[in-house]
Amino acid sequence: MKRGLALLFAWLPLIAIVPPAASVPAAPAGGAPVVVAGSKNFTESVVLGEIARLAGRERGVQVRHRRSLGGTRILWSALARGDIDAYPEYTGTLTHELLRDLPPDGGIAVLRARLAKLGIGITDPLGFNNTYAIGMREKEAARLHIRSISDLARHPGLKLAFSNEFMNRADGWPGLKHAYHLPMDARGMDHSLAYRALASGAVDAIDLYSTDAEIAYYHLRVLKDDKHFFPRYDAVYLYRLDLEKRAPRFVAALQDLAGSIDTSQMRAMNKAVKLDGKDARSVAAGFLGVGAGRGSTRGFWRQLGRYTLEHLVLVGISLSLAILFAVPLGIFAARRRRLGQIVLGLTGILQTVPSLALFVFMIPLFGIGAKPAIAALFLYSLLPIVRNTHAGLTGIDPTLLESATALGLPPRVRLWRVELPQALRSVLAGVKIAAVINVGTATLGALIGAGGYGQPILTGIRLDDIGLIMEGAVPAALLALAMQGVFEVIEHALTPRGLRMRAQA
Interface residues with another protein (CB under 8 A)?
Answer: 1, 399-400, 402-410, 413, 417-418, 421-422, 496-499, 501-505
- Closest among 78, 50, 80, 77 to 65, alpha carbons compared: 50
Contact 252, 239 (CB under 8 A): no
- At 17, the amino acid letter reads I
- Residue 443 CB, shortest distance to another protein, in Å, is 38
If the CB atoms of residues 297 and 405 are measured against another protein, the closer one turns out to be 405
Minimum distance of another protein from residue 478's CB (angstroms): 34
Q: Residue 217 or 416: which CB sits closer to another protein? A: 416
Q: Residue 293 Cβ, how far from another protein at the closest point, in Å? A: 60
Q: Which is nearer to another protein, 200 or 504 (CB)?
A: 504
In the bound complex, what is the minimum distance in angstroms from residue 8's beta carbon to another protein? 14
Q: Is the dihedral of CA 349, 353, 359, 365 positive or negative?
A: negative
* For another protein, the closer CB: 7 or 26: 7
The two beta strands, 160-163 and 132-137, are unpaired
CB of 320 to another protein, least distance (A): 25
How many angstroms from the chain centroid is the CA of residue 90? 21
Q: Give the nearer residue to another protein in terms of CB position, either 421 or 452.
A: 421
The total number of residues written for the chain in this structure: 505
**β-sheet bridge partners, residue 160:** 186, 205
Output the CA–CA distances (angstroms, integers) from residue 363 to 69, 118, 307, 342, 436, in the order listed: 12, 19, 21, 27, 24
Phi, psi of 357 (to 5 degrees): -65, -40
Closer of 21 and 406 to another protein (Cβ): 406
Give the shortest CB-422-to-another protein separation in angstroms: 6
Contacts of 63 (CB under 8 A, 6+ apart): 34, 35, 36, 37, 52, 53, 56, 57, 250
Contacts of 211 (CB under 8 A, 6+ apart): 44, 128, 130, 263, 266, 267, 270
Cβ nearer to another protein, comparing 294 with 502? 502
CB of 428 to another protein, least distance (A): 14
Cα–Cα distance between 375 and 408 in angstroms, integer? 42
